[in-house]
Structure 1
Amino acid sequence: MSRTENPASRWSDQRPPETADEWIKRAREVAGILGEDAVARDRAGLPPHQEVALLKEAGLVTLMGPVEHGGAGQNWITAYRVVREVASGDGSIGQLLGHHYAWAWAMRLVGTPEQIAETEEHYTTNNFFFGGVVNPRDADLLVTDDGDALVFRGKKFFSTGSKVSDLTLLEGAFADTGRHVFAVVPSAHEGIVFGDDWDNLGQRLTESGSVEINDVRVPWSAAAGYVDKQFEQTAYGTLNAPTFQLVFTNFYLGIAQSAMRAGLAYTRGHTRAWPYGGEGKRSGAEEFYVLEGYGDLQSKLWAAETLADAAGVNLAQLLHSERNAVTAEQRGRAAVLIAAAKQRAIEVGLEVANRIYELTGARATANSVGLDIHWRNLRTHSLHDPIAYKRTEVGRYALLGELPAPTAYT
């Protein structure tokens, strides 16, 4: 992706996509642009302002925004596929887009009808991108009731995307009651200070470093779902964690697809046959172990994608339901299926990213080839929450019929 040229201008004379397939094709075009220099941009580690601008120009940011405000009005089934496609070009940008979709939807989960309408019109009309300061493993931001306003303060050691976003979702807890509350604020708020300390093995362009929140005031009217300072929880309102977990699953699969394509391309063009095999093979593509290896990996990847798609259809039915129609049992079953899909995506993705070296050969380890980006990205984010707990959730359901209780990670 050139930093001196705007490749997104290529869509300026085209009609916007209308169908789900057309939007997935648009996402694939974006992935192609991102994939051209993903390794170089990963190594440079610059904030992905131009990458977010590309998502905006392509129309992907308002994919699920209301049609009446200029959005595409697509559903979560399409959104998950779009995340996967974009991640196949650049895992970091796929993650940012997936987080954007989940945070843009957060108001629908718990907000009042007025808050939902206002938020969706605001971000869709302005083509705004969401970031978030929401990390359950850190201490909660402290929220103080100051009469007509709430005041957020504290620090999160991890966040995602806020530095390159227009709007940031803040979540905190009241000191006296422990009740949680979130609100959407401008990312340029003077009270939001970014640590610029994200320096990890992979997903380097997600701007996931620390953030300090210094006395950020929001009116009570912006406290999502609160009416007369009271909040009523529903099963629908607890769908945030499953929504994010399936975002993770899909950008993992996108990274795995990218690793697979990179391995196949290298093998076709560069991998040599083993000269001591005794069968006179002319290229690595004729080697039995190479053919068997790619066949094994591709079969596993297709299976993981099919499971993720099934989980996406199931969850989308709930996300697009009436709020009071979703039951705790439906929510729990969706979480179990997502847990199964996520563990498969991680295991298959890491296997693909690792085994492609065996199928490409020693020269493929050169830094100029850049195959390491796929394993680094998957390994980094797949540690987000222990995969063993996802297996256990599925095991409890299979063995005991128990559904997972809603948590920040389930």
Structure 2
Amino acid sequence: MASSIPATDPAVYASYQAKWAALPDTADAWLARAREVADVLAQDAAQRDQENKSPRAEVALLKHSGLLKVLGPKKYGGGEQPWSVGYQTIREVAKADGSIGMLLGYHLLWSTTANVVGTPEQIERTHETIIKNNYFVGGAVNPRDSDLKITAEGDHIVFNGQKFFNTGGVVSDLTVLEGVLEGTDGHIFALVPTVQPGIKFAHNWHNIGLRLTESGGVKIENVRAPWSDALGWDPSTKKPRDDILQIPFASLLLPTIQLVFSNFYLGIGIGALEFAAKYTKQHTRAWPFGGDNKDSATEEFYVLERYGNFFAHLRAAEALADRAGEKASEVYNQYGANRAALTAEARGELAEWVASVKVVTTDTGLRVTSGVFEVTGARATSLKVGLDRFWRDIRTHTLHDPVAYKNREQGRYALLHEYPAPSWYT
């Protein structure tokens, strides 16, 4: 990282390395650890959002907590929890800080990419590397851009190109690259060390929300990886493994990450309501000109009605997200050791559950994070309060891919029982 780029100081969280030295050993303990992380982040979340520095300290906190390892195999030092628990940890962290919840979510996806598109040997090797070293993984896999170009040079592949957006790369140890092999239509994923001359970050993430995700542009110049690291490809023949890449299981990355999105949307929405409730109880004044005047805002009918309605919709969204998370875990558990057995129909059913969650968490999250200002009052718009960050965060990422297309997809499923064709967004 260039010295001129402001970053948070990892030393501020150094004490948590010893405090959290032992990993949690049950699902409940992992969620308790995620809440502990959230409590730490909540203390100065608004200030850190406004300062907009590279989140090196926050990534260090995630490393100290062990949350980066929640899905990893125990034999390498991971928590070996199912995706359903991973999704809930993302949600808990996002309640306090949407940016860090997002970074955790993307890391969990990229660090387990080999489970979906890698060979058995690659799965083992990448898990061992990531978990034993407690690496944080970023990704430059924005499919809206022209794909990175890949050329073959002997026993290596070479990436060249650029992405307008990447996620967490600036503060990562490893970066997932994805591109198309020259002369073919074959896509290749590979994990490469982030700190190298050929990976040049633009440091241009200055958006209204998710300001601590380092989601700006990146230029890739002659970044090399051995053929043995080309996920799902045979290094001897330099060909894709059809038994891995040409089956429905290989397209699970997309519903998996879409459910990552929904869980940090949900966490942001819940966090906004909890933050607003504390503010209302401490600072919001009753309206004195309503004709049915109350002594405090917490006795106002419209305030109670709004909070109750928001709470009910968030609770429903949470139940739906948990159900979808369980279904994702069931698919991985049932087919992880026999990937060829997953049918297009079973994959489609999971995709529809995930699409439902995406629609509901988008709609509910936007409604809650904007609506809480109605029950906190004009003073709650102060930048010092920081209530606006919840809306800015969820508004920013819900534009990742238009939710209108998820509604259309659901309409075709409900009306015609058509499953969506797997794509970069479905």
Alignment TM class, shorter chain as reference: over 0.9
**How far does residue 365 in structure 1 lie from its aligned partner after superposition?**
1.3
Contact 1:239 1:319 in 2 (8 A): no
Range 174-183 or range 196-205, more displaced: 174-183
Residue in 2 that maps onto 1:39:
46
Q: 1:270: which partner in 2?
A: 283
* Cα displacement string for residues 330-373 of structure 1 (whole angstroms, at most 9, x for unaligned residues): 11111111111111001111111111111111111122111110
| TM alignment of 1:3-402, pairs within 5 A | 5-6=12-13, 8-9=15-16, 12=19, 15-227=22-234, 228-231=237-240, 232=242, 233-320=246-333, 321=335, 322=337, 323-402=339-418
Deviation at 1:174, TM superposition (A): 1.6
- Three-state SS of the structure 2 residue aligned to 1:61 is helix
Determine the C-alpha separation between the residues in 1 that align with 2:80 and 2:393: 31
Q: Distance in 2 between matches of 1:10 and 1:140?
A: 39
Cα distance in 2 for partners of 1:12, 1:259 equals 28
Asked whether the 8 Å contact 1:77–1:312 carries over to 2, the reply is yes
Question: CA–CA distance in 1 between the matches of 2:15 and 2:215?
Answer: 25
Amino acid at match of 2:360: R
Counterparts of 2:137 and 2:96, CA distance in 1: 20
SS of the aligned residue for 1:198 comes to coil
CA distance in 1: counterparts of 2:175 and 2:22, whole angstroms = 30
Alignment-mate amino acid for residue 50 of structure 1: A
For 1:114 and 1:282, the matched residues in 2 are separated by: 67
Contact 2:31 2:89 in 1 (8 A): yes
SS at match of 1:408: coil
Shift of 1:4: 5.4
Matched, 1:408 2:424: yes
Partner of 2:106, secondary structure, is helix
Q: Displacement, 1:127?
A: 0.4
* 1:348 partner amino acid: T
How far residue 7 of structure 1 moved from its aligned partner, in angstroms, is 6.0
Contact 2:381 2:387 in 1 (8 A): yes
Instruction: Write the distance in 1 (CA, Å) between the matches of 2:163 and 2:29.
Output: 38
Instruction: For 1:165 and 1:306, locate their aligned partners in 2 and report how far apart those are by CA, in whole Å.
Output: 32
Q: How many residues align?
A: 410
- The unaligned stretches of length 5 or more in structure 2 are 1-7
Tell me if structure 2 keeps the 8 A contact 1:236–1:319.
no
Backbone CA RMSD of aligned residues: 1.4
Say if 1:406 and 1:268 are closer, same or farther in 2 by CA, change over 3 A: same
Aligned counterparts of 1:87 and 1:380: Cα–Cα separation in 2: 14
TM-score (norm 1): 0.97
> Equivalents in 1 of 2:213, 2:303: separation in Å?
34
Letter in 2 for 1:148: D
- Kept in 2, the 8 Å contact 1:8–1:58? The answer is no
Separation (CA, whole Å) in 1 of partners of 2:323 and 2:222: 43
**Are the structure 2 counterparts of residues 154 and 11 from structure 1 closer, same or farther at C-alpha, using a change threshold of 3 Å?**
same
8 Å CA contact retained: 1:267, 1:359: yes
Counterparts of 1:177 and 1:338, CA distance in 2: 31
Which letter does structure 2 place at the counterpart of 1:312? G
Instruction: Report percent identity of matched pairs.
Output: 51
CA distance in 2, matches of 1:311, 1:301: 15
- In structure 2, the CA distance between the partners of 1:282 and 1:4, relative to structure 1 (3 Å rule), is farther
Q: Deviations over 1:296-337 (max 9, x none)?
A: 000000011111111111111112323122111111111111
Change (3 A) 1:225 1:10: closer
How far, CA to CA, are the matches of 1:149 and 1:3 in structure 2?
35
After the TM superposition, which parts of structure 1 deviate over 6 Å for at least 4 consecutive aligned residues? none
**TM-score of the superposition, structure 2-length normalised?**
0.94
Instruction: Report if aligned partners of 1:161, 1:208 keep a CA contact under 8 Å in 2.
Output: yes
Give secondary structure in 1 for the equivalent of 2:404: helix
Give the distance between the partners of 1:97 and 1:274, measured in 2 at CA. 41
Deviation of 1:5 after TM superposition, in Å, equals: 2.9
Contact 1:238–1:406 (8 Å) recurs in 2: yes
Residue by residue over 1:91-138, the C-alpha shift from the partner in whole angstroms, topping out at 9 and shown as x without a partner, is 001001100000011111111111111110011100011000100000
